[in-house]
Structure formats: C-alpha cells, structure tokens
C-alpha cells in the first residue's frame, strides 16, 4: 500500500522541497546512520589525538587476559595481553584515519589522471591507460598486496597505497564513463566552444560538479573495503602490526582463542568492523540515492 497525497490545493511557485524532504526516508536513515558512524569516527579520532581515552590502551593486566565485556574495569573486555579493548578500538581510528585519506587521495588522483587522459584527451592516451589499468586489474589484489607488504613493510601506509593504486582503475572508469556521457550530451564540446579553459572544464565542470558525489560514494565504499582488506592481511600476518592497534589485528589475535570458546575478544572488534563497514555501505547507498536522485519517478 502506497500513499500519495497532495499537501496543498494549489502548488504555487513550486515550493521546491529541500533535498532532505524529497529523499526517501529510508535513504535519510541510511545517511544518518552513516553520518553517525562518521561522527563516531571523527570523535574517536579526536579522542585518540588528544588522548581522552577511557583507559590506558597499553596497560597490560596479565592476570586478566581475554576477559569478556563487563569484566571489572573493562567495559568491552580485554585482549590477549590483558589490555582494555575499548581504548584500543578508539585508537584504531587514529591509525586508519590519515592512511585512509591517503588511500582515497591516491585512488582519486591516479584514477582521475587515468580517467581524464583516456576520457577527455581520448585517442592519444587511451591505449596506454587501458594497458596500465588492465595490468592493475589483472592482479588479484590481495596477492599483490601480500607481495608488496611481504616485500617491504607491513605498514598501513603501504597497504593503503597499494589499495589506492589498485582502486584507481575503478575511479578512472567512472570518470571516463562520466566524461563520455557528458560528451554525448555535447556538454564538454560546448564548454570548449565557449572558450572555457580545459583545466576548468575538467576540474570544475566534470570533476567538481558531475563526479563529486560519485567520488564521495566511491570513497565511502572504498573505506569499507580498506578495513576489510586490512583485516584479511592481518589474518595472513601482514596487516598492521602491534603495538599499533588495528581492527584487523585485534580480530585476528582474538580469533586465535575463538575456537577455544573465548568469543569476545575477536567478536567485539569484528562487530566494530561490521557496523562501520555497513555504515559506509549504507552511507554510499543513501548518498547515491540522495545526490544522484535515484528515486523512482
């Protein structure tokens, strides 16, 4: 049962609804959820930066290892070293934050360059760009990451760097698609005809006005993926290394005790991953519907 109702008898000078009003409530809920997650991330980042942690993240209580949530003095329990889980969960954000931004920057920068070269300048570079992106696409990215990390350093910056490079083809395809779509609409050509400089067309018209929401969505989805990939690497031993906490290595260290029935120390960070990644997914979906107007009409 769907309800449609006209609010006014005459809609004078279309009271154009704000973006919030015209977006589906569910999408708003997604975005709100995503934003709450994002806010929590930012809060956690600030907390970590200023050291407002509920507990010393490095203090070990060797007699209280792998305690479940609610253990005395430990709201979310402790890890395999008897360290409190909560401040470490918060601290993770700090470890992820800058590298995550770097990953997005690398992906967008590289993908943008590829996309613009092949989409905007077309013929000249397309072959080369296609070749490069095909090479990147041919790698199973976990294997590539494993190689790079095993070879150089199991450092989150390296992980995010590889992730950025391997995500670039996707971004490039997106931008290329957008450009060719705009080209079909003669929009780019008319801008050239009007004497607008290339740089302005590319950056303002294409990237800023037409790709920004795509890129934001891509970035949110990508952040989720980054967290999951880091955790996969952690399982293989090449994720972020102690003493820097990462959700991946927290889950991994806890999972060693999972089969013995000690579920909590891995489940708590795993839940953190789940809620955050889900938040990114839903934020992506909601933003997509909101900004790209993907509602049925």
| Helices 264-291 + 212-235 axis angle, to 10 | 160
Residue 149 is a binding residue for other proteins (CB under 8 A): yes
Residue 97 is a binding residue for other proteins (CB under 8 A): no
Residue among 9, 7, 33 nearest 21 (CA): 7
Q: Which one of 32, 101, 134, 157 is in contact with other proteins (CB under 8 A)? A: 134
Residue 256 is a binding residue for other proteins (CB under 8 A): yes
Residue 15 is a binding residue for other proteins (CB under 8 A): yes
Please report where in the chains the tokens 């890890």 appear, as a residue.
79
Q: Are 226 and 160 spatial neighbours (Cβ–Cβ below 8 Å)?
A: yes
Lookup: tokens for 145: 């990451």
Residue 54 is a binding residue for other proteins (CB under 8 A): no
Task: Name the residue nearer to other proteins (CB basis): 52 or 208.
Answer: 208
Residue 12 is a binding residue for other proteins (CB under 8 A): yes
Q: Which one of 119, 248, 283, 286 is in contact with other proteins (CB under 8 A)? A: 248
Distances (CA, A) of 264 to 67, 253, 259, 270, 272: 8, 11, 11, 9, 12
Instruction: Look at the alpha carbons of 181, 187, 188, 189 in this order and tell me if their dihedral is positive or negative.
Output: positive
Task: Name the residue nearer to other proteins (CB basis): 48 or 206.
Answer: 206
Residue 51 is a binding residue for other proteins (CB under 8 A): no
Question: Closest approach of Cβ 156 to other proteins, in Å?
Answer: 12
Task: Find the binding residues for other proteins in span 179-238 (CB under 8 A).
Answer: 185-187, 189-197, 200, 205, 209-210, 224-225, 228, 231-232, 235-238
Residue 124 is a binding residue for other proteins (CB under 8 A): no
Residue among 263, 268, 261 nearest 245 (CA): 268
Q: Are 70 and 77 spatial neighbours (Cβ–Cβ below 8 Å)?
A: yes
Please report where in the chains the tokens 């008319």 appear, as a residue.
190
Residue 17 is a binding residue for other proteins (CB under 8 A): yes
Task: Name the residue nearer to other proteins (CB basis): 54 or 243.
Answer: 243
278 alpha-carbon distance from chain centroid: 11
Residue 70 is a binding residue for other proteins (CB under 8 A): no
Residue 1 is a binding residue for other proteins (CB under 8 A): yes
């Amino acid at each position: 049962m769907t309800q449609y109702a006209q609010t006014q008898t005459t809609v004078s000078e279309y009271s154009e609804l704000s973006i919030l009003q015209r977006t589906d409530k569910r999408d708003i809920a997604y975005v709100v959820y995503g934003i709450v997650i994002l806010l929590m991330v930012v809060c956690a980042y600030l907390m970590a930066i200023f050291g407002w942690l509920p507990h010393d993240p490095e203090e070990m209580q060797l007699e209280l290892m792998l305690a479940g949530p609610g253990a005395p003095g430990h709201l979310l329990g402790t890890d395999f070293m008897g360290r409190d889980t909560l401040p470490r969960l918060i601290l993770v954000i700090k470890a992820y934050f800058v590298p995550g931004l770097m990953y997005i920057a690398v992906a967008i920068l590289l993908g943008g360059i590829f996309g613009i070269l092949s989409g905007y300048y077309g013929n000249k570079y397309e072959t080369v760009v296609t070749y490069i992106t095909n090479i990147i696409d041919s790698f199973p990215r976990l294997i590539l990451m494993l190689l790079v990390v095993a070879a150089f350093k199991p450092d989150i910056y390296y992980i995010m760097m590889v992730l950025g490079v391997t995500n670039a083809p996707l971004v490039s395809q997106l931008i290329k698609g957008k450009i060719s779509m705009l080209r079909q609409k003669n929009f780019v050509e008319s801008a050239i005809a009007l004497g607008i400089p290339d740089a302005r067309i590319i950056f303002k018209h294409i990237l800023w006005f037409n790709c920004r929401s795509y890129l934001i969505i891509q970035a949110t989805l990508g952040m989720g993926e980054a967290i999951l990939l880091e955790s996969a690497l952690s399982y293989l031993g090449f994720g972020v290394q102690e003493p820097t906490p990462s959700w991946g290595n927290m889950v991994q260290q806890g999972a060693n005790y999972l089969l013995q029935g000690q579920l909590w120390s891995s489940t708590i960070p795993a839940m953190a991953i789940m809620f955050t990644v889900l938040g990114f997914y839903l934020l992506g979906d909601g933003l997509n519907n909101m900004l790209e107007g993907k509602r049925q009409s």
